Structure formats: structure tokens, C-alpha cells
Structure 1
Amino acid sequence: MIVRRVLNNSIVAAIDDNLDEVILLGRGIGFKSSPGQHVDPATVDKVFRLDGRAAQDRFALVAQSVPAEVLQATEEIVAAARERLEAPLSDTVFAALADHLAYAVERQAQGVSLANALESEVSRFYPAEHRLGLDALAIVARVIGTALPRDEATNIALHLINAQTAGGGSAHREIELTHQILDVARLHLGLTYDESSLEYQRFSQHVRYFAQRVLRGKTVDKDDDDGLLSVLVEKKPELVACAVRIAAFVKERHGQEMSSSEMVYLTMHLDRVA
């Protein structure tokens, strides 16, 4: 590998044997290095391979301003997330998470703690990401030596969620819309949700995925279920009326039409929790 840029004494941008740009992390790797020189493999502790020039440039910029141990913790957290989450993570997560962790560690040193009001929603709708956030606190404590407050688990989880939804709305918007739709159904039908029940978990997951589609502008546009919807109107008029109210809310707030297929799916899920 050949040095392209020296970012600091511990980080260099380099060109590997495939002519791809990589970020190299190693104690003293940048000391007395200069562009064009070959990299001594013995000085390399970590290799960051990021797809896309924008992700590379952003990470290189962040890497210059954060401690090496923050990058190490970031790499471990992202590696754990990629192993345990089903959805792929965008490489943009490296820069965003490293930047966040650096400020979180700095705030903790200053005795500043910021509460996250989304913890209950994140733990409910994104349990895997929230568990990773909690595990990330242990990684930070071990690698950086800083004990971050529990609220930071939610912040870390949100970075992981956003890295999965890079093509659509942010995690905050997705959670907010999911919560709003659940509230419309609850108020319209006078429900008291049993959040521990399998029926509620399936319903909330369906609403979450629907919210994702709405924010990405990719709702199901098929109207293949007009006949089944007519049957439901006769047999479950109150549930269909609730689905219609949700459809009106989504149309008003996000300009997305709900097809008959979406209405049928939603009504059937409502029937399980009503």
C-alpha cells in the first residue's frame, strides 16, 4: 500500500494493491510518512475500506479530529452490527458514529448528560439495534475507558437505524410516523395496547414497515384487493373506518395514497389487536 495523505500520527489515507483508497489506523503510522511512500504493514492496526468517495472523504475528515481509540470503538460497534443485523449498513455510519462518540465522550468528561426521549420507542420498534446500542456502551468503556450513560445506547441505535435507511426518511421521522399511526388506531378504536402480546408486536412491526414505505415513497400501489376490501367493509366496518382514517392522515401529512391492498393488510392487523 502507498500513502496518499497523512491525516495525523495515527491515521493515513492510502492506496491499496487494487488501487482502492483505504483509511489505515495504527499507532505512529503517520509519523515521518509522506505521500508516495510505501506503508510498513507492521504499523497497521486497522484497515477501513469504505465504498464511495463521499463516505471516504467524510470519514477521512472525521478521522483527523477524533482520538484513535474512538475509531477503534466505532469499528468494533459497526462490525458487531453488521454481524447481527439483517439489513446492510451504509458506510456512512463510520463517520457519523465516530463523530457522535467523540462528542459523547467529551460531554461525559464535562459532566454534561443529554436525555433521549425516544428510548421507549427505539427499544420497542428496534429491539436488535437497541441491544446493540447497550452492548456498544460496554465496547466504549473497554476501548476508550469512558462509561457513557444509558441514553447513549439509544443515540447509537439511531445511528445504526439511519445507516440502514439511508435511502429514505431518518429514523426519527420513521419512529414518529409509526407512533402517530398507532395513536390514530388506539384513539379511533378506544384500544389499550398490550405491548407484550404477540399480536401487538406483529401489528406495530407492520405499521413500522408501512411507515418506512411511506417515507420512501414506495407504498404498495396495487389495487388487487378491492373485492376483499368490500367484504371487510361489510364484516368489519369499524376496522375499515379506522384504516380509512389512517389513510387520510398519511395522505394529509405525507401525500401518499393507501391502496386497497395496504388497506386490507392494515385492517387484518387491526383485527388482531382490537
Structure 2
Amino acid sequence: MPEITTPYATGTPCWVDLMAQDQQAALDFYRDLFGWQGEIGPGEFGGYAVCTLHGKPVAGIGPAMAPEGQPDPPTVWTTYLASTDAPATQDAIVSAGGTLLAPVMDVGDLGRMLIAADQQGAVFGVWQPGAFHGAGVVNEPGALIWNELNTNDVPAATGFYGESFGIEIQPMEGADGTYWSLNVGGRSVGGATELGDERPGVPPHWLTYFAVDDVDSTVDALVKRNGTVLAPPFEMMAGRMSVVADPQGATFAVLNPKQM
């Protein structure tokens, strides 16, 4: 089991969470789909649930809450990038042309977080670990396996994430200039792709990938639970995948990676 027992390097995707209009329904859906265990958390943390797989934290699910007088926020998965100094990262994000959506806040003794958007509008979180460093298991069925930036401008994203986190965005080997690798310390920690004319109206975003043993059967199970298939299962460079949405509209991908 690929367990993570030490803090993630700055710029590495370290956590994902979902803010859902119906938190209990989301907990039930992902329990049935991926085998997660989780329950509505204490009020002091807004009921936020840390879901586990084999007893290790794998993702968060919380209740979507809109500020008074504001419309309900969309139900989306958010990717969090690791930082050792959230205030300094916040300053770097603003300096690089990003937009702060929720400034640095303490989450008890667990850590510090903020929510921001890059220059193109792709929303992401930042996590500075305290007692909690993020996902405790990755790269196995039911767990986070990949995080992908979908952007309108790869050169601009390269500058922004480089200035904010030290992430290097470089062409991925074998992708013929159509896919990029997000590298931290010389190691690939995620990917980037350019939104083209074939996806009109899709805004820049971060896409969360979860590993599964069998993409087709997972998609069948999702449909039976009122999920939606956005891109039917297909073969690609890294394996077999599908892009789907849960019953509340949160988009994510499932991937059965090729054995290397």
C-alpha cells in the first residue's frame, strides 16, 4: 500500500476535498463507489468529514456553505497544493497575478489553508501541514492518483505556478507536445493540458483522478447510483480512464493505470 507518512514537498498536490450541497448523500455515494469510510465531523470544523481508506485519510467531504446573501457555491473537487509557509505562498500567489478567494486561516492544530484561483481562473487550495499533512494513502484503488490542471494558457500557467510554488511545467515525454508534466524537485507530481476548441465553454480547472481496478465496472456502478458519464472509458497513454460526475455534479476522473 503506497502510504504517505511524511509532509509533502511544496507544490505537490497533497489533498482533495468536496464541498457538497448534501453532505450525507455525498458520503454515501463515495462509500459505495470507492469503499471510503467517513461521517459528518464536529461542529467546530463545520461538520467537515475526513474520509478514510484502509484507515488512512484519503479525501475530505464537507457541507457547501454560501456567505449570507450569496448563491450556493458549485459542488466541485478542489486540489490542494502543499506549502511550508501559507502566508508567504499567499503573497506569492497575489504577486503572480492570482486571486484570493479565502485568505489564510488556521484549521485548529491540523494546519493552515487558503483558497485561490490562478490567472486563468482555475481554483485550487493551499495546505500548510500541522498535525495533518494530507492524504495518507495514494496510487491505489479508491485513492487519489493524479491531479491535472486544465488551462487556456500553458505558458502563463508555467510562470504562475513556478513563481507561486516552484513547480516546473515541462512537456511530458511521449505526449507529442499535447500534455505537460508538473514537476517538483525533478519528480512528476501532476499534469497539465490545454483546453482546446473541442471543449468549448469549459472553464480552466483542476481535475482530480482516483485510481480504480476496473474503469468500466466503476462507471457502471456510478451510473446505477445516478452519476453521469462525461467521457466514456477510453485508452490513453497512462492507462484506461473515464471522466464522470457524481449525482450532485462534481466532476472527477477514474483511472486504471498501465502496469509499468
TM-score (norm 2): 0.25
| TM-score normalised over the length of structure 1 | 0.24
Work out which structure has the larger RCO, using CA pairs closer than 8 Å and 6 or more positions apart in sequence.
2
Larger-gyration structure (1/2): 1
Between Structure 1 and Structure 2, which shows a larger proportion of strand residues?
Answer: 2
